[in-house]
Chains A and B, each alone.
Chain A
């Protein structure tokens, strides 16, 4: 038999009632607006009078005003305990009102009834009388119906359940609590604490964090990643708090978790990305079925504003890097200029508008997988080509635009992202162009003779002549074509955007390869 939780509650006379009381006890959880509670209150009054002295019969009421009404309405002499804070109802796991609990003299549970079934109540009253060593009350059970449903406990009402779980010592929250004075504006408080990206954040109250945690099956204390630059462990709970702050729905949390895992890898090197003066930032591309389930926007203004999932998933990752990792602008975050992509950059691929395999399949996942791919990128920039009708001509426009990333003369360059709009994708589909062919054409168009891209007094940046030894390149070498990108595979291609407009976009990157940042994909663990 389970020992029931101990408690102290005040009765209607203001006296403290302690459980276990050192005698057999019957506890009945009631509330005034429950018809079945009203029906059983007189039964409990009768039981109280019959067993008084030998056993305790206590009503546990869930609303202060309602409790007083019940006391007056039925002229109760039995103790009506005030559980308007609902803490006892919560720890007793009461879900239906009335709930009737029988305890022996040591406070161990001997029986529990939910709702009202006459035969069960008769049996429990008899058991209580036996425990008390008394005769039970004389009740005309025939006057009562055989069965009545209960009502939902107040502990299950929206907002209350989360509050009680948050207050519970056995709850999933372990983060430090911060109490805000009643006179303080909680939104201003978040600004004052330095926990925002400059825009208001949703205060991560325990109730909101608990709701966010319903979005994942992971344990709240599991460490998702150790986040640079401060090498701080990011638990699921802390990730959820930042997701709340960003404005995420619970369903978005698995995407945020996957993105955080992806950036906190040696390949992606988030430490370098956040500390460099360049100004790159993680860009999240989402593929697979989860896009539709979350209502993400791959269409009109896919790279812009207006969609909650796009906006808040990206923002949550940035807030985690700031608030957990410690990458704060002016501190370790040293971007000379950066871009609005530092606030958020997350969008889904418009797979349905693509003539090609989607990004995640290209990177080795199944079509049915939901996947995030993270890139270290600047903000996007448009490429207009409203004239080209062939893949050959259109891919040239992409190449000319992509040559400018970082600096037109700097090569070989690392990873970039080309976002092909649906109208451009359709042009390429009609002309039968594969992604590989687009990449080859970009490399061909963006290649320049070495003599045009060497560092010089005309334009300081470029390829250092010292790569060809102390004497620099010879006449033959000066004529060789130097591609823009280290490999065609550095040019990553996805499809996104509205159906109208022959406007694609490019994202420049940072430093590529093992010394910089490489794209990383992670399956989303739903």
Chain B
């Protein structure tokens, strides 16, 4: 989130990706850093025990959302 905000303040579009369990944390941090609408994409939680194939599926499902967020 800190990195996203830094990039955005340099006029470089940035999006961060996290698992859905961190949506609240992301908003709290975005609000605190003064950029409440920072671009974000959430993938289904959890990540820790996901297999490589499950991770690829999460990435495949998220890639269009990430592109859309960056080009919005």
Contact = CB atoms under 8 A, between A and B. Distances in A.
Q: Do A and B come from one complex?
A: yes
Interface of A: 229-231, 275, 326, 328, 330-332, 334, 460
19 contacts: A229-B2, A229-B32, A230-B29, A230-B32, A230-B33, A231-B33, A326-B28, A326-B29, A326-B32, A330-B24, A331-B24, A331-B25, A331-B29, A332-B25, A332-B28, A332-B29, A332-B32, A334-B22, A334-B25
Query: SS class of chain A's interface: helix, strand, loop or mixed?
Result: loop
A460 B33 CA distance: 38
Interface residues of B, dominant DSSP: helix
Contacts of B24: 330-331
A275 B29 CA distance: 10
Interface in B8-24: 22, 24
Contacts of A326: 28-29, 32
B25 A328 contact: no
Given A229-B2, A229-B32, A326-B32, 20 more contacts: A229-B29, A230-B29, A230-B32, A230-B33, A231-B2, A231-B33, A275-B25, A326-B28, A326-B29, A328-B28, A330-B28, A331-B24, A331-B25, A331-B28, A331-B29, A332-B28, A332-B29, A332-B32, A334-B22, A460-B49
Interface string B15-55: 00000001011001100110000000000000001000000
B4 to A, nearest CB: 13
B30 to A, nearest CB: 10
Contacts of A334: 22, 25
Interface residues of B, number: 9
B20 to A, nearest CB: 13
A230 B32 CA distance: 6
Contacts of A331: 24-25, 28-29
A460 B50 CA distance: 12
A204 B25 CA distance: 28
B46 to A, nearest CB: 10
B16 to A, nearest CB: 14
A288 B29 CA distance: 38
A330 B21 CA distance: 11
A461 to B, nearest CB: 10
Nearest to B33: A230
Contacts of A231: 2, 33
Contacts of B32: 229-230, 326, 332
A382 B50 CA distance: 34
Nearest to A326: B32
A410 to B, nearest CB: 13
Contacts of B28: 326, 328, 330-332
A334 B25 CA distance: 7
B8 to A, nearest CB: 15
Nearest to A277: B21
A89 to B, nearest CB: 44
A328 B25 CA distance: 10
B35 to A, nearest CB: 12
Nearest to B29: A332
Contacts of B25: 275, 331-332, 334
Nearest to B28: A331
A93 B25 CA distance: 51
Nearest to B49: A460
Contacts of A229: 2, 29, 32
A330 B25 CA distance: 7
Contacts of B49: 460
A484 B60 CA distance: 38
List 4 tightest A-B contacts by C-beta distance, closest first: A331-B28, A230-B32, A326-B32, A332-B29
A108 B33 CA distance: 51
Nearest to A334: B25
Nearest to A336: B21
A363 to B, nearest CB: 30
A325 B24 CA distance: 17
Contacts of B2: 229, 231
B38 to A, nearest CB: 14
A292 B32 CA distance: 40
B47 to A, nearest CB: 11
Contacts of A330: 24, 28
A70 B32 CA distance: 58
Nearest to A330: B24
Nearest to A232: B32
A231 B32 CA distance: 9
Contacts of B33: 230-231
Nearest to A325: B32
A459 to B, nearest CB: 13
Contacts of A332: 25, 28-29, 32
A214 B24 CA distance: 40
A326 B28 CA distance: 9
Contacts of A275: 25
A331 B26 CA distance: 8
Nearest to B22: A334
